Structure 1
């Protein structure tokens, strides 16, 4: 146990210590580790907690978060580090809880006390069709290849997998006629079974393929709200449409859905793809024999190529899908007229990385980095527009993802609400399996704590369905009660926020006009 160094503002941390407890050759699933870290962070006297495997990238992240001690530095990649910051008594109490937290069965495991659970791919039932891989990145490729060669599709949740290994995994999957979803794949719904961070979606006739997890969630939830259901939702990993990877999983998934008679429409979702890869995907989609909607974020001019319609936003993807299926999309949303805050800058604080990408198309001049959260240290926001993906490693070092634990985002929200340079704030709240049980409460509490005194407008949107474990209507109502103004989609929220970025007292301008101006000015 070592004394905690002073925060970056020079303030000491009296009676606070940093501890690393190393559990040798002890592996646990990353989602289980995040949930354990969330529990420990909530204990009295604990200001930060992280449970990670001692891989080189994780050691760097702990060091950046001032959570690494000499004991942790000496750990091997197969070891588990329990890193804690807090008072000595609180750390002792927290460490005593760790064994029980790690022994809790995963939600997907049988609740029967005598049920046998395989602990290695070789122990799995030969009929097993899918392997979910969440090992440290350096080991993920080997496990994915084992799964594929065992006849299983591979869902690779792990990140920090080298791109050459990703290509090797996907080439092997293609050779074997299987799917390699990931690395860094966060969501899927396969034959009605949610995998990773996924919403409870009604079954239906739409097949979705996406190189963006929260983008898939947004589009699928909008379809669900309009009464349409999902046949399959296949995540590919965020790099799939890069020039290096070349859409290997996207193309295989397109062929799979094209051959499925129960799939009547295919929707593709991706962060800005490599241009030549995008054209290759559109050409293949045109041979699917059924209509395809491709949402390539950043596309400035929607276009139709045969049976393929290419759009540039998540909202337009859902609208075009519903139009193609003969349904009635939600009517256009007219935002209320509200005055901007005292400043001139946007503060968009997202838990979903895709939403940050979408907002950056409207404000390409926005900063994409801010101070990481350090307990008892005031966050200094830049004097320019700010669009953050707070699920990025830079902000989750030593902490769970903001979809599970809102601590980091609540701190940035507090800084944005009290910053005199803020004109508008945007927040997303993502529900579903894997997300926290009450993801809006901490954000609502920050809004109520600041109060209404010349507070900048806070624009929020919720990604969820009526079937999700959280109550989607209650979440929206809680945010509205705290003073947030609710937008129906991520696209509407970003466009409306941009429309408020005028000098106080100037006429309110329509979101579409400013959005078009922002794109034309790039």
Structure 2
């Protein structure tokens, strides 16, 4: 039977409610439970889950909705007690915070009058409106929010460019500004290598490898994954490149892009040939055969980091960074057991895996994303479990193991599966101990396959640094002790998985060419506001997820928390009327 509790005007951010739902779901005697704000989009999720009720229909966007499916009515009171205790604990944990919490933009600006950056993580339907307010206040924007329409992204970035500001995002999952981790980021030492690019696990993988190789990062300017699409035209990437070109403490620039639009990509490369500093690029899906002038084109994320480090340390750039011994001894597979299942929490890591696997299968290196699957071919699968398809109403897989645990079991039941390929992404915002959370499911999958007469191999990489809060070395140790084959990076993990099923990537020995004649000229100057952003410590108004203040406070950076709530209780019609009256 379904029981519905509506807590009027009780706004909580989505991640808190997702984690609360997971905690409550572990209680015995419940068939299903879902706790979300009663927005129109979330009501659709309730419907899809078979949890829609008449009481929910009348709830408004600023109301918290709890729907419980249970045969025991007494369980409802237990759920409510757990919910109240969870929210109370959240309130207590923020009681001794080292920053002020406000409820309006005006109050945020008066509390931190020298703020220069807004970190925005509100629901996607409100994100563009809040970002426009920040730009009008003269603030750069780090836009974590996803599900922002492409047209809104183009408008925001053009407006920012005209104002001499940067919009990083939307869907900007990772950034590092003057050593300060933003959103989901690893703890990386400061150094001479600046990064600009797709803002998630691509930046995390490259920056973490740079750190582990003994160098550091000056800035990592996130662009969002769509910046090199035609409607956007690489506005943020090109302004970010100009910023790093003018930043005296950046000696090398690394550029990371998801598969780009061809003409936009060519325009970015033309700009890079005007830059005076050495540049390392990766355009995922491209398999470069040359280095051109000061632009060193890489095939993998690990290669991107290694080239940048070699340049920083005054070493010669090698023709190939991907050679290695990826053989696993004494592989025992049954006939027909040929498939690799890549189950990824990181979107860029999933894309890289799909490119390499496609290459090893002789399918070329171009990839597409269909329903979260970046590759699906004859049993081989690479799935981005952080795709919107899998995170509607659920925590991101870097936070919660549940979705991946289900996929691991499904892969083990598939008799064609030879290898399960996993990433473990550490850093601020990620799960405290994902290795321990997933290992029971991994061990069960391996034992299930063995009971059915099959050997199942699990290959993983850990994206992190020794200073991350989750214990990088401990993660690796726990995985290895459980029989997981752990490689130093995602590139090595994918190649090892390919080796297990008798496949390999045919790498190119890159040749060096002189810099080509540029097709156009570029102005490399930047605004005073952008120069201040890269030469001064950020001063941040955090709009939305309070957990993002953890890394900021730990870095002794000024921050004010804007405890955002939807205007007019989330009523769209009333919100638009109020907006017009201002």
Superposed, 1:236-315 pairs within 5 Å as 236-315=223-302
Counterpart CA distance in 1 for 2:121 and 2:264 is: 28
Alpha-carbon offset, residue 112 of structure 1 = 4.5
Alpha-carbon offset, residue 127 of structure 1 = 1.2
Q: Which residue in the other structure is 1:94 paired with?
A: 79
Q: 2:326 aligns with which of 335, 338, 347?
A: 335
Alpha carbons 2:199, 2:222 under 8 Å: kept: yes
- Structure showing greater Rg: 2
Counterpart CA distance in 1 for 2:284 and 2:501 is: 22
Q: Which residue in the other structure is 2:169 paired with?
A: 182
Alpha-carbon offset, residue 51 of structure 1 = 4.2
Alpha carbons 1:65, 1:397 under 8 Å: kept: no
Q: TM-score, normalised by structure 1?
A: 0.84
Return 83-92 or 194-203, whichever deviates more: 83-92
Alpha-carbon offset, residue 438 of structure 1 = 0.9
Alpha carbons 2:32, 2:68 under 8 Å: kept: yes
Counterpart CA distance in 2 for 1:287 and 1:95 is: 61
Aligned: 1:415 with 2:402: no
Alpha-carbon offset, residue 44 of structure 1 = 4.0
Q: Where does structure 1 lack aligned partners over 5 or more consecutive residues?
A: 4-16, 373-380, 503-508, 517-522
Q: Which residue in the other structure is 1:484 paired with?
A: 484
Deviations 1:290-322 (A, max 9, x none): 111111111112433332222221111112111
Aligned: 1:64 with 2:48: yes
Cα RMSD over matched residues? 3.0
Alpha-carbon offset, residue 340 of structure 1 = 5.6
Alpha-carbon offset, residue 221 of structure 1 = 0.5
Counterpart CA distance in 2 for 1:303 and 1:27 is: 54
Q: Which residue in the other structure is 1:194 paired with?
A: 181
Q: TM-score, normalised by structure 2?
A: 0.76
Counterpart CA distance in 2 for 1:235 and 1:422 is: 36
SS at match of 1:195: strand
Counterpart CA distance in 2 for 1:41 and 1:194 is: 32
Counterpart CA distance in 1 for 2:261 and 2:281 is: 14
Q: Which residue in the other structure is 1:10 paired with?
A: none
Alpha carbons 1:48, 1:398 under 8 Å: kept: no
Alpha carbons 1:370, 1:382 under 8 Å: kept: no
Return 420-429 or 92-101, whichever deviates more: 92-101
Counterpart CA distance in 2 for 1:90 and 1:368 is: 41
Q: 2:96 aligns with which of 111, 136, 144?
A: 111
Alpha-carbon offset, residue 47 of structure 1 = 6.2
Q: Which residue in the other structure is 2:568 paired with?
A: none
Q: Which residue in the other structure is 1:445 paired with?
A: 440
Q: Which residue in the other structure is 2:519 paired with?
A: none
Q: Which residue in the other structure is 2:312 paired with?
A: 325
SS at match of 2:505: helix
Deviations 1:256-276 (A, max 9, x none): 111110111111112111111
Task: Determine which structure has greater relative contact order: mean sequence separation of CA pairs < 8 Å that are 6+ residues apart, divided by chain length.
Answer: 2
Counterpart CA distance in 2 for 1:274 and 1:102 is: 45
Q: 1:106 to 1:199 in 2, by over 3 A?
A: farther
Alpha carbons 1:383, 1:421 under 8 Å: kept: no
Counterpart CA distance in 2 for 1:362 and 1:141 is: 36
Deviations 1:431-473 (A, max 9, x none): 1110111111232112322445233211100001111110111
Counterpart CA distance in 1 for 2:282 and 2:103 is: 39
SS at match of 2:119: strand
Q: Which residue in the other structure is 1:460 paired with?
A: 460
Q: Where does structure 2 lack aligned partners over 5 or more consecutive residues?
A: 509-582
Counterpart CA distance in 1 for 2:69 and 2:279 is: 50
Alpha-carbon offset, residue 27 of structure 1 = 3.2
